[in-house]
Chains A and B, each alone.
Chain A
Amino acid sequence: MPKVTVDGQEIEVPAGATVLQACELAGKEIPRFCYHERLSIAGNCRMCLVEVKPGPPKPQASCALPATEGQEIRTDSEMVKTAREGVMEFLLINHPLDCPICDQGGECDLQDQSVAYGRGASRYHENKRAVTSKNMGPLIKTIMTRCIHCTRCVRFSEEIAGVDEIGALYRGEDMQITTYLEQAAKHELSANVIDLCPVGALTSRPYAYEARPWELKKTLGIDVSDAVGSNIRIDSRGREVLRVLPRINDDVNEEWISDKARYQVDGLTRRRLDKVWIRKPKGPKGKLVQASWEEAFKKIAAAKPGKSIAAVAGDMLDCETMFAAKALLKASGSSLIESRQTGMDYDVSNLAAVNFNSGFSGIEEADAILIVGSNVRWEAPLVNVRLRKAAKRGAKVFIVGPEWEPTYPATFIGQDVSVLSKLPAEVTDALKAAEKPAIILGGGGFAAGAHAASVKIAHDFNMVRDGWNGFNALHMAAARMGALMLGFAQDGGIADIVKAKPKVLLALGADEVDFTRFEDSLKVYIGHHGDKGAHAADIILPASAFTEKPGTYVNTEGRVQRGDKAVFAPGDAREDWTILRALADALGVNVGFDSFHELRDAMYADAPALAIEGEVTDYGALAKSVKGNAAPKGTIPAPIKDFYLTNPIARASAVMQQCSNELLLGETLAEAAE
């Protein structure tokens, strides 16, 4: 723990800290462009110069200088001031003065720091350098003349994303940042370089020229495009969500989000359900006709469901909506609630057996990982970042299931799930030798019935030990863990509900259900997008998307998080719980709450863990065994066919469609032609 003096203030800094970190600990602001906490140190922008004694009598780059005992650091001396001014002047020599037409304006590091640390004017009278802009695909817009060569984007793609997509060609003044042959950046996290870029060289293409940052209302939200529960900031203007940015949460998403989370939001204004619709006549031949709320409620009441009512929850629902539905069904005397839309029926009696117990930050420490049926890169890109960190630390990774391209060394040990009952020696040896062995059971693994076998492996290899729980279920639906905590699961999965032949089926944003199995039921779709669920519905009640209602979400590691309402839902659409509350009146039952506040209180009474925000829920010990075949057979399916089109919002999004066409389909087409 070296002691250093920063501007006369003596502080103790952790061993291995840099001078820049020491200055920050002392509360001093150090300007920087190339330095980033989560990337390697480059030391090429020279903006973080400070004066350090002992040392050469010249300013030193604090980001790359280790703090040592007895250093005297000055950040306020004349030397530092002129050094910063000098660096700033050099950086601006070739930087165009196009701030008025630059999308970074208002949130630009260069702009801010030039105001704070720069000279008033430039002494440079020569021509500025001009650089051709590069194609980086449908998400990243480049204006490379603005680039100041900090190489954050290069380091991100190499170190965090794990794909060497971006590089710096040529040298010196002629250095140019580009992808190889200007191919599109294809990684699922590629758009994070937009946030990393300290200037306006890499900006968001879909958001180009849309708004200025100071015009936007910022709302804290939770991403629902996967089960990671990334913390996001929803930027909206008026009634429209213009963009989504990541928030820093070291336990969940660090400071990245997937491209889908970032860019699916343009789908929130397309294909929206903003009116009540009733299918007349009922059945597949009928046509949807616009109607009023009263008509719709009357029609549902006329079906006289009584106890014969069921609810299926979709993948992006908040806990409040699900609880409201549960309360409605309970008041009607029914318990037919299910959330696993595609018909999975794994055992949920022990929630620890369906939870990501290691936690996202915990899995980084694992030293042997067996992935069962999960394309982690597509199912949870941010978990893949953690796995990459684990692999970089030396963890051995084995994958059962369809092959995909991990961004770290990993061994594929077969597509057939039967391999779990006779694991190859290299896997068993690695798991036995590991101090923190882990298994990750993904969507494909659940679908192939590998749940019981995975729990058995967890126990066989003693993965639950002191201070470590290595059993991890990786879900794909943002609503899954919340739904399971609220009991949205039947023993036999959705088949139980089919068997019960409910008179009324409430599909709460459920788009992946096979509705042909519910031909006799009155299918009421309560959701926000005209997707598969709405096509099959008899009555459509327009509801809110995740940006249009406050909500509680539980991510796949059991972390309870809350998002706020950013904008109002369009047209006649209402917040989901109000629809269910009104439906309770129409059906003549009492759900026991009249306000959102009362609803939440009732929900907390039902599932107390949901009241503890930000924390990982304790589901108790992992069950010794779960129901199911411990020696399953069959090929593991790949549940995600197209990363960019996994949910109704993304399917309605023009940007996601474009990504799918250009980044995924374009690739397969080109390969087929070769």
Chain B
Amino acid sequence: MAARHIAPDTPELRERWGSFAFTPENKAQADKHIAKYPEGRQKSATMPLLDLAQRQVGAETDTQGWLPLPVIEYVAAYLDQPVIRVLEVATFYTMYNLEPVGKFHVQVCGTTPCMLRGSDDIIAACKKRGMKPGHISEDGLWSFTEVECMGNCATAPMVQINDDNYEDLTAERLDAVLDALAKGETPKTGTQEPGRHTSEPANALSNLKEMVDENHDYRSEW
């Protein structure tokens, strides 16, 4: 996280993004988000609008998308908000990229459960492909961030690539996913363990056995 910082405000950045505006589809989306809130409370729509803007930048640059300063200023103006308030939001949440990213933004969870289940191998596999934190790989495909818990501990280790999670990984399974992505295919999302559907127990039930068929009140047994 400490690596997060706003991309410098350069004339080139202004020239490239200064004229940013929502596409008609995104504008309709944005207005729909704003309409969810009472009049005068349009700032509540800051987060969805920043997301829309990031996706539009992504579509324009064929990457996951990021938020250049002029785009943040555009969103602030769109919401009639001071820029600093919108910038605060954009810098707070890690799902807003403050710097350009590659086509695929690989976010590897390195928190304890994933680490115990082998996230170090996953990170090593990523690095082998030329990914390193804060950089886009030479082919423009990959960006890499090590992140904290993404809430998939039952299917650890996991990575999040753009909008999708890939779970129950090994170095080989990750390679397969990344190769498929690089080829433009759409690999199966979620768990990569054969036979597993989601985060159900991987083996036989070890606890909460009475709950299999019907709801069971365990409280008397505490």
Contacts and interface: CB of A to CB of B under 8 A. Distances in A.
Interface of A: 163-174, 179-181
Interface stretch (B48-56, B81-89, B149-157, B199-207): B81-89
B87 A180 contact: yes
B78 to A, nearest CB: 16
B92 A164 contact: no
A406 to B, nearest CB: 15
Contacts of B91: 169-171
Nearest to B85: A164
B216 to A, nearest CB: 31
B2 interface: yes
17 contacts: A164-B82, A164-B84, A165-B84, A167-B84, A167-B85, A169-B6, A169-B91, A169-B92, A170-B1, A171-B1, A171-B92, A172-B1, A173-B2, A174-B1, A174-B4, A179-B84, A181-B9
A346 to B, nearest CB: 39
Contacts of B9: 181
A391 to B, nearest CB: 14
A157 to B, nearest CB: 9
A54 B5 CA distance: 44
B1 A169 contact: no
Contacts of A163: 82
Contacts of B1: 170-172, 174
A669 B83 CA distance: 22
Contact of B84 (A166, A170, A174): A166
Contacts of A172: 1
Given A164-B82, A164-B85, A169-B91, 4 more contacts: A167-B88, A170-B92, A171-B92, A180-B82
Contacts of A170: 1, 4, 91-92
Interface residues of B, number: 14
Contacts of A179: 84
B2 A169 contact: no
A180 B84 contact: yes
A470 to B, nearest CB: 28
A160 to B, nearest CB: 15
A181 B69 CA distance: 10
Nearest to B72: A180
Best-surrounded residue of B1, B69, B83, B88 (most CB of chain A within 10 A): B88
Contacts of B4: 170, 174
B67 to A, nearest CB: 13
A170 B6 CA distance: 10
Given A169-B91, A181-B9, A174 B85 contact: no
When A and B form their complex, which 8 residue pairs have the shortest distance between CB atoms, in order from nearest? A164-B82, A167-B84, A169-B91, A180-B84, A171-B92, A167-B88, A170-B91, A180-B83
Best-surrounded residue of A166, A168, A173 (most CB of chain B within 10 A): A168
A174 B82 contact: no
A167 B92 contact: no
Contacts of A181: 9, 69
Contact of A169 (B69, B82, B87): B87
A163 B81 CA distance: 11
A280 B4 CA distance: 69
Nearest to B83: A180
Contacts of B84: 164-167, 179-180
Interface string B120-135: 0000000000000000
A153 to B, nearest CB: 12
B88 A168 contact: yes
B77 to A, nearest CB: 13
A171 B94 CA distance: 10
A167 B82 CA distance: 10
Contacts of B83: 180
A405 B128 CA distance: 56
Nearest to B90: A169
Contacts of A171: 1, 91-92
Nearest to A180: B84
Nearest to A171: B92
Contacts of B85: 164, 167
Contacts of B6: 169
A181 B85 CA distance: 13
A174 B87 contact: no
Contacts of B88: 167-169
Nearest to A179: B84
A172 B93 CA distance: 11
Contacts of A167: 84-85, 87-88
Nearest to A170: B91
B111 to A, nearest CB: 15
A440 B150 CA distance: 58
A180 B76 CA distance: 12
Interface in B56-110: 69, 82-85, 87-88, 91-92
A259 to B, nearest CB: 20
A165 B87 CA distance: 12
B2 A174 contact: yes
Nearest to A163: B82
Nearest to A167: B84
A670 to B, nearest CB: 14
Best-surrounded residue of B4, B6, B91 (most CB of chain A within 10 A): B91
A278 B1 CA distance: 70
A274 B83 CA distance: 50
Nearest to B5: A170
B52 to A, nearest CB: 21
A49 to B, nearest CB: 25
A563 to B, nearest CB: 38
A632 B85 CA distance: 44
